[in-house]
Amino acid sequence: MTIIYGINNCDTVKKALQWLNINDIDIEFFDFKKQMLTEQLIKQFVDLSSWDKLINKRSTTFRNLPAEVKNNLTDDIAVKTVLAQPTLLKRPLLLHHKKLHLGFKETQYQEIFSS
């Protein structure tokens, strides 16, 4: 099963979903705003990637975090913060064949789904 994680009103997520639809790729869409992330799911993301790649440090959500949180993103603090504010994660997150792909670029998706 291929799962795409994100929020429905994100332009990049919309582009990814449109590309997947045009290319007849069956996916499950997990909307951060409508479905609750779990600690287990976040830890799975970290196991497949890293906090440095997963956290969108250019986002307004990140910029509005208190300095003591931004400067002390241990695993425990990061998990709790993302559970409270899932829009901290880069979008979309694509889980395909037990690999996590961040963001959307058409060439990247062509490569992912050509194999």
Tokens 């440095």 correspond to 52
Query: Could you give the residue numbers annotated as active site?
Result: 10
Tell me the chain's radius of gyration from C-alpha atoms: 14
For residues 69, 74, 79, 85, the Cα torsion angle rounded to the nearest 10 degrees is: 20
First CA to last CA distance, the chain: 15
